[in-house]
């Protein structure tokens, strides 16, 4: 279990890795063949041919739609215009002023930020604690824990959401039965609907999100922790440092870059939680369960105002772009992009 | 695993308090493992429970008896076969296409220094960070205009591109670990550039390609949002969207839903097992070189 394992994890994985030789030295191309001049000329064009398909594909699915989002958010695109009857009127900043002036939008933003913060803090905190614990346990226990983490990790999102919906079902859910047994208060818990009160409902959703994200965090953080030099930790404790002191001054500086990047990724993922809420609410999330993603979705597809939906999506992207740029800078710092 | 365990001799002689400490940590870790694995356990147990226990107000942690009735109901559900077919067609095509494009791009990034190389990598990373919900509306409208709604190709293109950046960066990691000298000596021995690629680079790249493709396959297999929006035709639902058919106005058939979910998860679990091994291989080759 080292750095490369975590590559299985998801989007670009930030783990300090074995220093590697970067690409080729310029001399590599000169040694290419007997006729360096011709080779070099070919080498100048070849990479562009190689990346062309990737660029076209990304442009078609991301760049063009993104530009389209920007354009649409300055128009008023409703169902009528979509089906080709009539022109799409330009409305300037009207969509944005409408959205930004709508108290409901700010309620959604607040909910999204609070939900994201709680999820990220819990995921990173519990994940780090489990990773630290993994260093202290016997080999077979670590194996059992790893298997459990991978089992949880490999569960498809929709399947996991189904299981949590079943666990929290008001009539037949295990959570209610267990709570009734533990507290002895059957009237209170049997038949209790967790989703009537959004705070409780989001509690269940948080449980699902955090449970689903922990394996990635633990396995990445554990990989980082195994790269902390043991001699340094021992030397520090011989010098009389407390366990916390060793952690604070020896362990933490080494794992900090990885921790920051995993936390950044978590922020982005948890800001955009969609499927979990969607499925736990039976494909019909009530307004009080709407986070930014769902809000944009329901504006676009249920109120059939695609322009409103686009404008909200665009605002979301702008809110996250700061985080994204921060993430990119971290990647550059650790040499993942060179 | 064992390589990462500290094995210095003095640590072998644990003092009693440290041993007790370790026992405490072991117990804590086992409890954590049980909690993490519990939803998986509940999925499997619920899928094997008789229906009267599923619809009981008093849930028990252990089933009284096991049955395959739920699986029978799940398999008989409308469109099960077509959902498998859709998921397979869409995921496999997207992965094969994605791997070809990603390998080409990875070779360019890993083997050549060219103007715009760094920018390309940054774009790829930034693209990955875009929230899918932000892209949903324009992609939907565009596919609608091109007649791609309810067509497999629309979904295929979306999945292909969404795994492209990750696959490229991952394969690039394997490319730069193959010494250029190998390629050069093959060419000195008379191989063409393509020949050198096919005979020398490709075999060495295979584990990386396998790992990246399994990762992409799992991603496509698990995707829900785009499949739900872009496919409205019941007979073209992918497996994840098909799962919703167990919930009707009259309620949810949890037994069959859990059985169907178990069936869908099995391939993913198998892929995950494979990917762990492949990752270890990729890692060792990297470590030896580094």
Residue range A154-196, pLDDT digits in tens: 888 888 998 999 899 888 888 888 888 888 877 778 878 888 8
CB atoms within 10 A of CB B194: 8
Cβ pair A158:B127 closer than 8 A: no
For chain B, positions 203-222, list CB contacts with chain A under 8 A.
211, 215, 218, 221-222
Q: Sort out which chain B residues have CB atoms less than 8 A from A28's CB and list them.
A: 180, 184
DSSP H or E stretch at residue B252:
strand B251-252
For chain B, positions 50-79, list CB contacts with chain A under 8 A.
54-59, 61
To the nearest whole Å, the CA of B257 is away from the closest chain A CA by 8
Give me the numbers of helices (H) and strands (E) for chain B, helices first please.
14, 2
Residue A37 has pLDDT above 50, yes or no: no
Residue B103 has pLDDT above 60, yes or no: yes
Using alpha carbons only, give the angle A118, A123, A125 rounded to the nearest 5 degrees: 95
C-alpha to C-alpha distance for B159 and B161, rounded to whole angstroms: 5
For chain A, say whether B22 makes contact (Cβ under 8 Å).
Answer: yes
Task: Report phi then psi at B176, rounded to 5.
Answer: -75, -10
For chain A, say whether B128 makes contact (Cβ under 8 Å).
Answer: yes
- Terminal CA-CA length for chain A: 25
CA distances in angstroms from A317 to A293, A301, A320, B189, listed in the order given: 10, 19, 5, 52
Tens digit of pLDDT for each residue in A124-154? 999 999 999 998 899 899 999 988 998 888 8
C-alpha to C-alpha distance for A237 and B6, rounded to whole angstroms: 16
pTM of the model: 0.81
Single out the residue of B209, B180, B210 nearest to residue B110, CA to CA. Answer: B180
Residue A79 corresponds to which tokens in the numbers above?
């169902």
Q: Sort out which chain A residues have CB atoms less than 8 A from B58's CB and list them.
A: 177
H-only helix segments in A16-76: 26-30, 36-58, 64-72
Q: What's the confidence (pLDDT) of residue B165?
A: 87
C-alpha to C-alpha distance for B213 and B39, rounded to whole angstroms: 27
Tokens 């295929």 belong to B156
Region label for B43, one of left (φ > 0), alpha (ψ between -120 and 50) or beta (otherwise): alpha
Cβ pair A12:B269 closer than 8 A: no
H-only helix segments in B114-253: 117-129, 132-146, 152-175, 180-188, 193-196, 202-222, 225-230, 239-242
Cβ pair A138:B125 closer than 8 A: no
Give me the numbers of helices (H) and strands (E) for chain A, helices first please.
17, 0
The better pLDDT of the pair B282, B237 is held by: B237
CB atoms within 10 A of CB A93: 11
For residue B225, the chain A residue with the least C-alpha distance is A275
CB B76 within 8 A of CB B253: no
pLDDT-wise least confident of A6-10, A318-322, B147-151: A6-10
pLDDT-wise least confident of A224-238, B10-24, B180-194, B271-285: B271-285
Instruction: Give the pLDDT mean for A57-83.
Output: 81
B287 falls in which pLDDT band (50, 70, 90)? very low
ipTM of the complex: 0.79
Tens digit of pLDDT for each residue in A212-258? 999 989 988 888 888 888 888 888 888 888 888 888 888 888 888 88
Find the CB nearest A4 among B57, B240, B283: B283
The better pLDDT of the pair B27, A41 is held by: B27
C-alpha to C-alpha distance for A52 and A81, rounded to whole angstroms: 34
Single out the residue of A136, A148, A125, A88 nearest to residue A246, CA to CA. Answer: A136
CB atoms within 10 A of CB B165: 25
Cβ pair B33:A145 closer than 8 A: yes
For chain A, say whether B232 makes contact (Cβ under 8 Å).
Answer: no
CB atoms within 10 A of CB B22: 15
Length of chain B: 290
To the nearest whole Å, the CA of B65 is away from the closest chain A CA by 18
Q: What's the confidence (pLDDT) of residue A220?
A: 85
Interface test mutation site (partner A, options B34, B112, B195, B244, max chain A beta carbons within 10 A): B112
Q: What's the confidence (pLDDT) of residue A241?
A: 83
Strand locations in A184-243, DSSP E? none
Residue A31 has pLDDT above 70, yes or no: no
To the nearest whole Å, the CA of A55 is away from the closest chain B CA by 8
Q: What's the confidence (pLDDT) of residue A84?
A: 61
Residue A35 has pLDDT above 80, yes or no: no
Q: What percent of chain A has pLDDT over 70?
A: 83
For residue A222, the chain B residue with the least C-alpha distance is B4
Single out the residue of B261, B221, B219 nearest to residue B244, CA to CA. Answer: B261
Find the CB nearest A51 among B108, B138, B282: B108
Strand locations in A164-286, DSSP E? none
To the nearest whole Å, the CA of B82 is away from the closest chain A CA by 19
Tokens 């009237």 belong to A187
Q: Sort out which chain B residues have CB atoms less than 8 A from A53's CB and list them.
A: 100-101, 104-105
CB A168 within 8 A of CB A194: yes
The bridge status of strand B247-248 relative to strand B251-252 is: antiparallel
To the nearest whole Å, the CA of A104 is away from the closest chain B CA by 19
B159 falls in which pLDDT band (50, 70, 90)? very high
Q: Which residues pair with A305 in a beta bridge?
A: A78
Longest Cα–Cα distance in chain B: 76
Contacts by B264-271 with C-beta closer than 8 Å and gap 24+? Answer: B264/A156, B264/A158, B264/A159, B264/B239, B264/B240, B265/A154, B265/A155, B265/A156, B265/A159, B265/B43, B267/B221, B268/A154, B268/A155, B268/A156, B268/B218, B268/B221, B268/B222, B269/A151, B269/A154, B271/A154, B271/B214, B271/B217, B271/B218
C-alpha to C-alpha distance for A303 and A208, rounded to whole angstroms: 29
A3 falls in which pLDDT band (50, 70, 90)? very low
To the nearest whole Å, the CA of A259 is away from the closest chain B CA by 18
Residue A284 has pLDDT above 60, yes or no: yes
Cβ pair A12:B162 closer than 8 A: no
Find the CB nearest B287 among A18, A136, A320: A18
Find the CB nearest B32 among A32, A130, A328: A130
Sign of the torsion formed by the C-alpha atoms of A22, A28, A30 and A35:
negative
B43 falls in which pLDDT band (50, 70, 90)? very high
Cβ pair B261:A162 closer than 8 A: yes
Tens digit of pLDDT for each residue in B121-137? 888 888 877 777 778 88
Find the CB nearest B139 among A33, A43, A61: A61
Residue B54 corresponds to which tokens in the numbers above?
């599923």
CB A9 within 8 A of CB B218: no
């Amino acid at each position: 279990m080292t750095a490369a394992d975590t590559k299985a994890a998801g989007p670009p994985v930030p783990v300090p890795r074995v220093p590697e030789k970067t690409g080729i030295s310029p001399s590599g191309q000169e040694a290419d063949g007997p006729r360096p001049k011709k080779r070099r000329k070919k080498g100048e064009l070849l990479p562009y041919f190689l990346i062309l398909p990737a660029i076209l594909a990304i442009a078609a699915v991301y760049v063009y739609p993104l530009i389209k989002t920007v354009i649409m958010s300055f128009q008023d695109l409703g169902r009528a215009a979509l089906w080709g009857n009539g022109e799409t009127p330009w409305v300037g900043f009207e969509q944005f002023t409408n959205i930004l002036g709508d108290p409901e939008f700010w309620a959604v933003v607040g909910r999204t930020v609070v939900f994201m913060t709680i999820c990220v803090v819990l995921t990173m905190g519990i994940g780090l604690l489990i990773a630290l614990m993994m260093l202290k346990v016997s080999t077979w226990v670590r194996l059992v824990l790893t298997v459990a983490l991978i089992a949880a990790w490999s569960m498809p999102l929709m399947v996991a959401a189904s299981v949590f919906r079943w666990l929290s079902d008001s009539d037949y859910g295990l959570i209610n039965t267990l709570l009734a047994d533990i507290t002895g208060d059957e009237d209170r818990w049997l038949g209790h609907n967790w989703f009537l009160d959004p705070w409780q409902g989001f509690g269940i959703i948080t449980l699902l999100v955090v449970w689903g994200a922990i394996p990635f965090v633990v396995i990445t953080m554990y990989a980082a922790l195994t790269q902390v030099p043991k001699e340094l930790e021992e030397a520090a404790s011989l010098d009389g440092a407390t366990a916390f002191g060793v952690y604070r001054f020896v362990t933490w500086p080494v794992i900090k870059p990885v921790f920051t990047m995993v936390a950044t990724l978590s922020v982005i993922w948890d800001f955009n939680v969609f499927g979990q809420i969607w499925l736990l609410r039976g494909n019909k999330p009530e307004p009080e369960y709407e986070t930014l993603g769902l809000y944009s979705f329901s504006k676009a597809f249920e109120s059939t105002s695609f322009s409103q939906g686009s404008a909200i999506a665009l605002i979301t992207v702008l809110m996250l772009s700061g985080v994204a740029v921060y993430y990119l800078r971290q990647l550059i710092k650790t040499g993942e992009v060179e | 695993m064992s390589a990462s365990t500290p094995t210095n001799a003095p640590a072998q002689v644990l003092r009693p308090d440290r041993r007790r400490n370790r026992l405490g940590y072991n117990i804590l870790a086992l409890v954590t493992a049980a909690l993490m694995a519990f939803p998986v356990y509940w999925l499997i147990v619920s899928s094997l429970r008789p229906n009267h226990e599923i619809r009981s107000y008093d849930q028990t942690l252990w089933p009284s008896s096991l049955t395959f009735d739920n699986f029978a109901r799940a398999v008989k559900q409308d469109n099960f076969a077509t959902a498998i077919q859709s998921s397979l067609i869409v995921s496999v095509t997207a992965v094969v296409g994605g791997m070809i494009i990603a390998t080409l791009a990875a070779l360019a990034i890993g083997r050549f220094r060219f103007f715009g190389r760094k920018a390309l990598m940054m774009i790829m990373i930034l693209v990955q960070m875009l929230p899918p919900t932000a892209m949903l509306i324009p992609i939907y409208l565009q596919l609608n205009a091109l007649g791609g709604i309810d067509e497999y190709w629309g979904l295929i293109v979306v999945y292909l591109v969404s795994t492209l950046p990750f696959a490229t960066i991952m394969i690039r990691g394997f490319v730069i670990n193959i010494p250029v000298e190998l390629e050069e000596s093959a060419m000195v021995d008379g191989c063409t550039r393509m020949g050198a690629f096919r005979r020398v680079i490709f075999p060495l790249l295979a584990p990386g390609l396998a790992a990246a493709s399994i990762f992409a396959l799992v991603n496509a297999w698990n995707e829900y949002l785009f499949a739900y929006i872009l496919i409205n035709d019941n007979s073209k639902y992918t497996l994840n969207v098909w799962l919703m058919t167990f919930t009707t106005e009259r309620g949810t058939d949890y037994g069959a839903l859990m059985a169907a979910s178990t069936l869908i998860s099995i391939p993913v679990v198998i892929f995950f097992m494979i990917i762990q091994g492949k990752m270890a291989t990729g890692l060792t080759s990297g470590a030896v070189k580094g």
